[in-house]
Structure 1
Amino acid sequence: MKKILALFCLFTLLTAFTCEDEPLDDGIDSGSNTSDTNVALIGSWDLTDFSVILETSTEFNGESFTSNIDIQSTEEDYVLTFTESSFTTNGSYSYDTNIVFNGETTQSEPYTLENVSGSGTYYTSGNLMTVDGSFYEFEYEGMDQSILDEEQTGTFEISEDGQTLTFYQEETISQTDPVTGTVTSSATNSTSVWTKQ
């Protein structure tokens, strides 16, 4: 159970870059990778903080289950480097998880991921960044993480002084399993903050 929960929490963290609807800085230019936005992105950024809150409810055979997962970084040694049209990542980070299932705290665990790396290409349009590749690539107990390699679009903001990069996500998903009739709804709210080297 611990390993499955760790993988679930990690997957939740990694989806922090798949956001689409947060209004941000109006001064960010739209367009290709030659825009002022991309010039401001070029260089290396140190991860300084991330947090993810995932609230899930499931209904199955008349029973309701709820869970809340709160993930907060505790140590960050992770670098994201942008060129004009590509990026690489590397380093390690630690985070705590607090999990509440049906109103009761079931587990609170610290996790550390080391030797994490990623690479890919990207382009921007306004405050949206579309990534082809993954900000994170790793192997977790032999499990395939290829789902994280799909094209993703995220919302971002660069501070006025150009020294802070922030990614946001607020997303709600509801799914019904046609075979079992299980209805699952989840709401994710996450943020990651990076400072320019």
Structure 2
Amino acid sequence: MKKLLSLFCLFTLLTAFTCENEPLDSDVDLETGDTNLDLIGTWDLVEFSTTLGNEMDFAGQIITSDLDVYSTETNYILEFTANTFTTNGNYSYNASVVVDGVEFSNEPYTLDNVSGNGSYSTNGNEMTVDGQFFEFSFEGEMDSSALEGEQTATFELSEDGQTLTFTQNEIVVTDDAATGTTVTSNVQGSSVWVRQ
């Protein structure tokens, strides 16, 4: 049962960052309508956090879980070109998991030599990303496959163009007909970056 809960918690952690629905408010270039120009350059990660509340209905049995992830140390950069991005560095975070009211895990994690890349496009304050910004591990296991592929996010760029903020606030319902499982997730998250 502990392994099942571990995998469920890992799935919910990856889901929280998969959507990359990290809203950012954008400063659109009114002449071209192209926000990509405002993003080009190197950004240092300041902090990230995600709170994920889940309710899983598995064959009539309801399991609730709450995941709270927040950065503790960051040395991680995100570099945008006109339509691609790369990431590299390291970061530490704490992940607290509570299942049915009982604390299941409250662990610090550190990931070194993390790198990623992909492409992106913007439309107003929405960003579509094909690739991944982050990797995560849970109880020593790492699987970034859920973080890959195309995702859409909302973003905000500060008036002076020096701070980029992604935020997420959504409810996601996932049905698996094969297992008869329904998962309802309430995701709230953010990451803050500053221009180098």
TM-score in terms of structure 1 length: 0.83
Counterpart of 1:45 in structure 2 is: 43
Kindly provide the CA deviation profile for residues 41-77 of structure 1, in whole angstroms up to 9, marking residues without a partner as x: 1110000010001110012333221100010100001
Counterpart of 2:17 in structure 1 is: 14
Equivalent in 75, 79, 82 of residue 81 of structure 1: 79
State how many pairs are aligned. Answer: 192
Identity %: 48
Instruction: Letter of the 1:169 partner, please give it.
Output: Q
Counterpart of 1:58 in structure 2 is: 56
Q: Deviation at 1:169?
A: 1.4
Counterpart of 1:195 in structure 2 is: 194
Runs of 5+ consecutive residues of structure 1 not aligned to the other structure: none
Q: Deviation at 1:192?
A: 0.4
**3-state SS, counterpart of residue 133 of structure 2:** strand
Q: Please give the residue correspondences for 1:64-143 in structure 2 after superposition, counting only pairs within 5 Å.
A: 64-136=62-134
Runs of 5+ consecutive residues of structure 2 not aligned to the other structure: none
- Cα RMSD after superposing both structures: 2.9
Establish whether residue 168 from structure 1 lines up as the match of residue 167 from structure 2.
Answer: yes
Following the alignment from structure 2 to structure 1, what is the Cα–Cα distance between the partners of residues 30 and 56? 39
Q: Deviation at 1:7?
A: 4.0
**Inter-CA distance 138–24: structure 2 relative to 1 (3 Å threshold):** closer
The question of whether the paired residues in 1 share the 8 Å contact of 2:130 and 2:150 is answered with yes
Following the alignment from structure 2 to structure 1, what is the Cα–Cα distance between the partners of residues 60 and 11? 25
**Inter-CA distance 16–89: structure 2 relative to 1 (3 Å threshold):** same
**Inter-CA distance 45–24: structure 2 relative to 1 (3 Å threshold):** closer
Instruction: Letter of the 1:122 partner, please give it.
Output: Y
Following the alignment from structure 2 to structure 1, what is the Cα–Cα distance between the partners of residues 62 and 109? 29
The question of whether the paired residues in 1 share the 8 Å contact of 2:18 and 2:146 is answered with no
Following the alignment from structure 2 to structure 1, what is the Cα–Cα distance between the partners of residues 24 and 91? 28
